Every structure is written in structure tokens, then in C-alpha cells.
Amino acid sequence: MPEHTKEERLPLWSLLRELASSTLINQSPWLVVGDFNQILSLSEAYSLLPTTISLPGIVDLHDCLSDCGLFDLFSRGCHHTWTNKAITNPKTRKLDRAVINESWQDVFPNSYALFDAPGSSDNSPCLVSLANDSHHRKSRFNFFSFFTLHPEYRSRITEAWQSIEVAGCSMFVLYQRLRAAKLCCKDLNRSSFSNIQAPSREAFDNLENIQREVLSCPTPELFEEESEARKAWLLFSAAEEIFFKQKSRVRWLKEGNSNSHFFYKSVKANLSKNIVHHLRDNNGTKVSQSTAIKNLVVNYFILLLGTSSTHNRSD
């Protein structure tokens, strides 16, 4: 690793900030890949013997990425990307990274970086895959707590639950009632909360339009309209935030702080992490096409389930 000092890296941080402030970059998908020659956290450094880590250097890189609106692209492979190849005091660091802006994640939501073994080099090579596979599996039903915000939720669920009149064991009756409740929630979601961002935005725009009229030519009717519009917006706004909080799996922020944008970014990051980008078959060949991955998994479990156990049962 070149012995670059904290001061020698400052021009790079300045250049990134300058690029980020340009209109061309600011409004476009942006990917930055390479050797930053600086770790971003203490977990990105290992050494057998005690060594000094530059905390100001970590702060400089963190501040630079934050100012530029850049964050790590989801990656696989080697966590640390550099080694000194020494025997007496081996060291590894994560010096290479691929960082992106939010526009990149919007355009290439399935992209990822693969850091491979360095081979004869000191640094791991980085391969960025756009992974624009058009095949998507059917999403499963999820119950979102914002369903309960709907004023008709309780009455409609009660009606769906009590509408089931079937004969059979208790478990079968319970299954049928749960199925009816599920269909009720899906219908409620489709009719009132579908694409939750759109109705939330429309409700807010409607509220602002009425408020302009109130402040221009106030009447009792407009004040009443403003009150109803505010209630509608608060309903959709709360539902939107709860939706993204549940999807993002973030638990350390409370509802009511208008964190929807933060949650939305977390959701997109989680979706990227959950994608299986590639597998290797028995021959070590990398399989990356979605249909081939599905067939590989199915065949693996078919062979696994079709194999007789080698363990004898105890008497």
C-alpha cells in the first residue's frame, strides 16, 4: 500500500465534491470505483500486530461521501481488498470500493460489485454487474400495520371473518377465515393504499392548493375543506411512513418524524441485498441467469431429498 498521508488524499476528496456539485453529475446516475487508499471504519482493517489507524482519515472519507451523496454499492466477495502479503506482520484493508448515488440505485436497482481474489496483485479486482434481469418472482402477501389506519378496517375485517360458514375441523375453519381476512386486506390495499407514494403526494398537493385558496379568499367552506384535506393527507402520510419502515427493517427510528425518504432508500438497499445474483454448480461454473439459478436450486434439493440417509435409526 503506498504510504499516502491524510493530506495527500485531500485533493481526491475535493475533486469528488467538485464533481458532485456539477449539474451533469448531480442529476445523473453516478458510480465511483477504485482504490480510495483509506478505510471507512475500524472493521475494515486487520493486522496481526498492533498498528495505528488514522481516525481523521476515516472522518475525511466519511464526510466526503456524505457531502457527495455517495454510499457503498452492495458488494459480494472479499470484504477486505488489499493485503501486504507479509508473513511476519500480515495486514489487510478495505481500500477499494464502489460507491453510488441515489440516481444510480434508481436506474440500476439490481447492480452489485464483486471483489475477487487479488491473484498476483496487492488489490482485489472489482467487477460491477448491472444485473438487469427482467425476470421477477411473484411477491408474497404481507400484512402492513397501516391497514388498521383505514376507518373501515375493523368493520370490513369483522364482516370477512364472520362471512365464513363452512363445516370441518377447527383448523380448517380457522384457515378459511384467515384466507378471507387476507383477501379483505388485499382488497383494502388495492382500493385505498395501492402505490402508497402516489396518493400521499396527491393528498399533499390537494392540501396545499386548498391552503392557497384559504389564504387568498377565506370562507367557512374552504376552512372545512382544508380540515378534511389535512385528515386525508395525514392518513396517507402515516401509511406511507409505516409501509417503508416495515419494508426497510429499520427499527431505531420512530414514526411521525417524516423519515419516509430515508426508509425508501433502505428498502431499495434491502431489495438489492436479497437478490441471488449468481451460484456455482458442481463443476464450479458460475450461473447468473435467473432461470438457470432457479433450476440449479430445484435440482439440488431434488437430489438432496432423493438421497437415502446413511444414519441408522436407534432401536
Average pLDDT score over residue span 93-109: 91
pLDDT at 67 over 70: yes
292 C-beta neighbours (distance < 10 Å), count = 14
Q: Are residues 125 and 184 in the same domain?
A: no
Q: Are residues 56 and 95 in the same domain?
A: yes
- From 107, 129, 151, the end of a domain falls on 129
Average pLDDT score over residue span 127-149: 70
- From 212, 242, 257, the end of a domain falls on 257
Task: Check residue 255 and give its pLDDT.
Answer: 47
pLDDT tens readout for residues 214-234: 888 888 899 999 999 998 888
Q: Are residues 212 and 240 in the same domain?
A: yes
CB of 106 closer than 8 Å to CB of 30: no
Number of domains the chain is built from: 3
Provide the domain limits for residue 19: 6-129
Q: Is 226 contained in some domain?
A: yes
Q: Are residues 46 and 72 in the same domain?
A: yes
Per-position b or e across 98-134, b if 16+ CB within 10 A of its CB: bbbbbebbeebebbbbbbeebeeeebbebebeebeee
pLDDT tens readout for residues 187-212: 887 777 766 667 778 888 899 899 98
Task: Check residue 61 and give its pLDDT.
Answer: 95
Q: Which of 59-68, 134-143, 152-161, 203-212 bottoms out in mean pLDDT, i.e. has the lowest?
A: 134-143
Backbone Cα Rg of the chain: 27
Average pLDDT score over residue span 35-47: 93
Q: Are residues 189 and 98 in the same domain?
A: no
Q: Are residues 26 and 110 in the same domain?
A: yes
Q: Are residues 103 and 173 in the same domain?
A: no
Sheet holding 82-83, edge to edge: 45-47, 91-93, 82-83
